[in-house]
Amino acid sequence: MGESLAVLRKMPSSCIDLIVTDPPYHTTKKDNIYGDKAFKEDEHFLEWMDAFAQEWQRILRPNGSAYVFCSATMASRLEVQLSNHLKPLNHITWTKPNEPGFDGWKGKMNKESLRRWYPHSERVLYFEQNSNTPAQKSRLAEFLREVRLQAGISGHELTELVGAYGKVNHGGAVSNWETGRNVPSREQYARIVEVLLSTGKIANMPPYEDVVRPFQMAAHLEYTDVWTFPSVRPYKGKHPAEKPHEMLAHIIGASSYEGDIILDCFSGSGSTAVAALTLNRCAISIDIEQQWFDRTVSRVETTESVSPTTSLEAARSNRKKRAIESLFD
Ligand SMILES: C[S@@+](CC[C@H](N)C(=O)[O-])C[C@H]1O[C@@H](n2cnc3c(N)ncnc32)[C@H](O)[C@@H]1O
């Protein structure tokens, strides 16, 4: 429990794989959410968020990602502000089906009295670690080019040695990786490592999970930037802004590997931590209010993690758990 900015400032650099966080929206002005009415001017809220983004960039690993929830009203300005520190990838619209029991007073509202379109969606801003490179480029792209040049191999030679021929042009795959158009598969990366180490000019190469930003998609999953997840039905003790488990699991499943460290620094009732643990990830949750900290602890204590899928995952998971413990020594 604590004030997040102060806690983040004490954390070491590059220690977090994924940030999933839900700050006070500022525009909703809810009395029952700490900080929601703290800023008189929008600018002050944006400056406050900027200070967080600066820390997020510092603590996020080079292949890390961040998801930030916000209101539709603040989304554009917030995205511009946060892009001072992180690289925007998507501006996701989360729409909630209007099912009875989920939509509060919306079903009963007087539509004739509206003065603009009813805001039926919230936004989720998705970023990757900033590489200070042109839009298409990523840290991975830069890294792959850097190590290839260090090894003294041309793009054409690497293509030959890895056997990753493009369908139409001969050196296609390597140049696509190095411009950030796509990423090598696990098998291709293993072959790149083998080839680069064999030159004797590169001493070691990091594992795949430490360099490739996770984005794990499957045919049965929602793959667009418009999401439909029902909001959490009211229940006794519910956080006023509790986010649905399925949506958090959707984010964490796509944007992290098993054993990764997931941070939520506006954690409320601990929904992100519960989703992370359920998917065999590690979680750090911070909230300023005692009641939500207590609620998080009790939810986490009753959450069962799934077993790691492979012994490699188990080893990563243990390594990362030890890393979390050392953050708070
Ligand atoms: C929108 S809610 C998060 C709800 C959460 N996603 C859930 O599912 O329960 C924002 C939370 O941020 C917390 N908060 C506000 N300012 C904070 C700060 N400076 N440091 C830590 N927590 C803060 C509030 O107490 C509140 O619980």
> What CATH number is given to the structural domain containing 57?
3.40.50.150
In this structure, are 11 and 98 located in the same domain? yes
Close Cβ partners of 223 (under 8 Å, ≥ 6 residues apart): 217
Q: Quick check: CB of 34 below 6 Å from ligand 1?
A: yes
Q: How many helices (H) and strands (E) does the chain have?
A: 12, 7
Last residue in a domain, options 152, 182, 208: 208
Closest C-alpha to ligand 1, atom 8: 242
155 lines ligand 1 (CB under 6 A): no
Q: Other C-beta atoms within 10 Å of 80: how many?
A: 11
Residue finishing a domain among 208, 224, 251: 208
**Lowest model confidence (mean pLDDT) among 19-23, 31-35, 79-83, 145-149:** 31-35
Which of these three, 208, 229, 255, is where a domain ends? 208
Indicate which residue's Cα is closest to atom 7 of ligand 1: 242
Closest atom of ligand 1 to 264 CA is 6
Q: Write the CATH number for 176.
A: 1.10.260.40
The pTM of the full predicted model, rounded to 2 decimals, is 0.92
Q: Which tens digit of pLDDT belongs to each residue from 236-261?
A: 999 999 999 999 999 999 999 999 99
Confidence at residue 166, expressed as pLDDT on a 0 to 100 scale: 59
Q: Are residues 167 and 254 in the same domain?
A: no
Do 202 and 220 fall into the same domain?
no
Look-up: residue for tokens 């379109």? Answer: 117
Q: What's residue 168's pLDDT? A: 52
Q: Is 288 in the pocket of ligand 1 (CB under 6 A)?
A: yes
Ligand 1 center from residue 22 Cα (angstroms): 7
Give yes or no for a contact between 283 and 273, defined as CB atoms under 8 angstroms apart.
yes
The neighbouring-strand residues paired with 129 are 86
Q: Separation of 245 CA from ligand 1 center, angstroms?
A: 16
Total domains in the chain come to 2
* More confident of the two residues 314 and 208: 208
Are residues 184 and 98 part of one domain? no
234 & 143 share domain: no
At 224-238, the pLDDT tens digits run 999 999 989 889 999
Whether pLDDT at 85 is above 70: yes
Claim to verify: residue 196 and residue 61 sit in the same structural domain? no
Enclosing domain of residue 57: 4-133+215-327
**Angstrom distances, CA of residue 302 to CA of 49, 226, 296, 299:** 32, 32, 10, 5
Residues 147 and 113 in one domain: no
CA of 19 to the centre of ligand 1 (A): 14
Q: What is the pLDDT of residue 299?
A: 94
pLDDT at residue 36, as a whole number: 86
Considering the domain architecture, whether residues 195 and 288 belong to the same structural domain is answered as: no
Q: What is the dihedral of CA 57, 90, 230, 38, to 10 degrees?
A: 50
Do 148 and 119 share a structural domain? no
Whether residues 228 and 183 share a domain: the answer is no
- Answer yes or no: do 230 and 321 share one domain: yes
User: Going by CA atoms, what residue is nearest to atom 3 of ligand 1?
Assistant: 268
Which two tokens mark 159? 């293509």
For residue 239 and ligand 1, the question of a CB distance below 6 A is answered with yes
Q: Are residues 71 and 158 in the same domain?
A: no
